[in-house]
Amino acid sequence: MHDDRRLVEARLKRVLDERVRPAVYPESVPLEVAVWHAPGEPVPVAEGLAAEPVPIEVGARWGAPWGTSWFRVTGTVPEAWAGKTVEALLDLGFDENMPGFQCEGLVYRPDGTPVKGLNPRNQWVRIGAPVEGGEEVRLHVEAASNPVILDYHPFLPTRLGDKETAGSEPQYTLTRMDLAVFDETVWQLVLDLEVLGELMHELPVDSARRWDIVRAVDRALDAVDLQDVNGSAAQARVRLETVLSEPAVPSAHRISAVGHAHIDSAWLWPLRETVRKVARTTSNMTALLEDEPEFVFAMSQAQQWAWVRDHRPEVWARVKKAVADGRFVPAGGMWVESDTNMPGSEAMARQFVHGKRFFLDEFGIENDEAWLPDTFGFAAGLPQIIKAAGSKWLLTQKISWSQTNKFPHHTFRWEGIDGTRIFTHFPPVDTYNCSMKGSEIAHAARNFKDKGLARHSLAPTGWGDGGGGTTREMIAKAARLRDLEGSATVVWESPAEFFEKAEAEYPEPPVWVGELYLELHRATLTSQARTKQGNRRSEHLLREAELWAATASVRVGFPYPYEELDRIWKTVLLHQFHDILPGSSIAWVHREARKTYERIAGELNAIVDAAQRALAGEGDRELVFNATPHTRAGIPAGGAGTPAAEGRTRITPRPAGGHLLDNGLLRIEIDGDGLVVSVHDIEADRETIAPGTAANLLQLHPDFPNMWDAWDVDEFYRHTVTDLTTADEVVADGETGVRIVRTFGSSRVTQLLSLAPGDRRLLLDTEVDWHETEKFLKLAFPLDVHAERYASETQFGHFHRPTHTNTSWEAAKFEACNHRFVHLEEPGWGVAVANDSTYGHDVTRTVRTDGDGGTTTTVRVSLLRAPRFPDPETDQGVHRFRHALIPGAGIGDAVREGWRINLPERRLTGAGEVTPLVTVDRDAVVITAVKLADDGSGDVVIRLHEAHGGRARATLTTGFEVADVVATDLLERPLTEIVARDGDRVTLRLRPFQLVTLRFRRAQSRS
């Protein structure tokens, strides 16, 4: 037989596009439309419904950027349509290629009842099925004219990302407002032909199944009367029945479809708009669940559920009913789908505490899975946090975006720094916006790495990013793919149902150890420095507020601020969302974040001050409060007292120009250009800085990635570098420091380099008045250390990365994340670099070809970037950073100095010393949280971990009378582990990096 498949394929495309799809709505009449444009921010629903609109015609422009317009549409169903299905088609000016990224609407009845959301792939509203004819139609649409930020030519700078700069030019053209007859038979024919046509393209040309489909489609198209599609559609469908009923082969890949709408809590829209996006999407999904009995929809991010509850109670009622029916599934057990690289230990734990507790409190549902499809890589400390929260599974797909190396597994166990293993799945469909296209389903089956050992994968199905969710077309396609020859099989299931099946069939999957590094979006560790500083400082202020408030509550009856701390924690957790903390949102988001962090700092400082004053009492003795988990200057961790004297520092002129700092522990040379040319460890008689190099070297690179400006830094940025070695001013400053001023381009840097008495660290305070564009600023420390790997702090510990690039996996990690420190060492001597607010860094090594032939290992801290998309003013203005160089540091010194630089001393006068609420006798055991139990019982909760990477036996002593102590999970629920207690002492034996939470019931509790 002649090969005519291309002829049939072309025929199918044209007939579908020009005849069959248009026949889904064979008759229509226009609706009357009027509009009211809300001034300023969105108004309550009642106000929008009550407003008096003015007429508007289809074809008119509407919608200033970030505005809200309330459309009223009215009409009458023609009497001649009696017995037919009728829908309103409401096209606000949609581009079907941009679901979630442009205008959207929520439809209401006149009484304020929400009907469903409108978006580019969901423009219909059911009026009746069937209608009687003559019905009066009246609907209201709350339409958001969100501007398109990420357009067809992406990453172009735009001022549309902030309402303060976006202007007032109308963004959209009202396109269609009609009542129309919906022909379900034709609609079903469209889906039949789409599914078969898409499957046909994925099958081998020489397969019999492909030719069966070609012939069936050809026969069906013969049955379509192009002048009467509606009258002939049923017969065309009959000719496809046989080919659609052939079952899948027994070995077919099995896909669990999970209804999904990944909604970024902020990104190319502000937080307030996400509140409405969630309401639109949940309205759509609850309506769809009522119509489709097999459909299951899952939504993560407890914050988004809370928004629906608090802002859209009428939608919340429908959501609660769907949850009770088991169809609308809370997923993930986190407050938001956060970044996992940068949040600190406690913050990462609290993501699960607040997320899981919300779903437990509202629905009695416990989440077993972490659900993070779009997060930009995963820190090595995360597995034990997931387990400590009572969960056991993880889902993500973002690693599929890696540019260099293909991850070798789709289902595996991920092992964290303490040895905890979590069953993990990467959906091989490689998207969290699956739409049930044949190409997606075939890709998932072909791409699945674990064939022969496992057969199940998951497909998050629905429009996401900006929301919208699953459509009725996706559900119709999934029904045809449930058991179809040539295709993977598809069934709707919850995440838990998928994981149970996947784990049961694959009990011994491969193991991946260490971080899940995304070989992309590396610049998110640096973009929007103020947002990152706000996060870091908020985390540490929360530690202080909980520590001092708990101590004061136990000691003097201070009222513990449960509600305030709960609210502030949730605000900080929200801003750790994976497009806020990483710096990849529009200007509006980061402008609001800065204000939020300022407000939080004020509230937390007020709590700390009140608690400390309550502890200090009345008196004139100067007290220093130490919030770090280590003794500092003789003051115990979590206590207050008078610091011990620490000697003195001498500043003398350097003969060759510059200054010399010496405190008897370190001797530091700063040359006439403000560069650190020597840091000598006097006790070890060891030089820190590599020969012929200088530290405190600011380096400027061009920074214009190939795409994803705020997200990416491409490796070629290193090809060009400008060393900023010229100083405008290098002068002694006070008794312990040297001040340096540099100017370059349009920017200015002012630094204070200081060596305090008794310190084994060089402190670098850097202020940058930054006015560069598309530049990357680094701070370099070339060290005379031979190290094949270095330690980088992460949640509840640290892990090691190589300093070499032996393989493509190592070379790809040219920009990485650390928390408070990086540390590298030779046996017996090491160096740490600590910071108070930066995350991005790189570490490289070279061998000196002249001189001693030794190794130079260079640590570079990433300070600032200046991308122009999506915020054209990213990081412009004044920034302040603090770093410390610690020679002779072991890993314990690195841990201690990391805490110290982030928790400065607080001084006030009082009556006398404050003894700690709890102490531990091993530096390796670090207490990360001291707080009162969240349930208001007055119990004291202590969270700690082994921080050095070894085994530790420690004794924890309480400064209050204990009635009982239990080990708990992160949610403060008792575990079965027995805690060895002797009065006020608890003995612990910890594995490397082991995380422990202890709950102490006081002999006399105060709530």
Contact 342, 532 (CB under 8 A): yes
> Do the Cβ atoms of 830 and 800 come closer than 8 Å?
no
| Secondary structure class of 858 (helix, strand, coil) | strand
Q: Which residues are catalytic?
A: 374
Measured distance CA(938)–CA(934) in Å, rounded: 9
Residue 746 C-beta-side C-alpha neighbours within 13 Å: 10
Question: Which stretches of 802-906 are DSSP H helices?
Answer: 808-811, 891-902
Question: How far is the C-alpha of 464 from the C-alpha of 476, rounded, in Å?
Answer: 19
Contacts of residue 212, defined as CB under 8 A and 6 or more positions apart, other chains included, come to 243, 246
Which one, of 169, 868, 280, 261, lies nearest residue 586 by Cα?
A: 868
Mean pLDDT split into 10-residue runs, the chain, 1007 residues:
86 98 98 97 96 98 98 98 98 95 97 95 97 98 97 96 97 98 98 98 96 97 98 98 98 98 97 97 96 96 98 95 97 98 98 98 97 98 98 97 97 98 98 97 98 98 93 98 98 98 98 98 98 98 98 98 98 98 98 98 98 97 97 96 90 96 98 98 98 97 97 98 98 94 98 97 98 98 98 98 98 98 97 98 95 94 98 98 98 98 96 97 97 98 98 97 97 94 95 98 72
Instruction: Tell me 632's DSSP state.
Output: B
Q: What is the largest CA-CA distance in the chain?
A: 103
* SS3 label, residue 604: helix
Residues recorded for the chain: 1007
Q: Give the count of alpha carbons within 13 A of 480, CB side only.
A: 27
Tokens 């053209």 correspond to 173
What is residue 298's predicted lDDT score, i.e. its pLDDT? 98
Q: Which two tokens stand for residue 435?
A: 């739409």
Helices and strands, number each (H, E), in the chain: 19, 53
Q: What are φ and ψ of residue 651, in 5° steps?
A: -115, 125
The residues with which 724 forms a beta bridge, in sequence order, are 698
Query: Which 3 state secondary structure label does DSSP give 849?
Result: coil
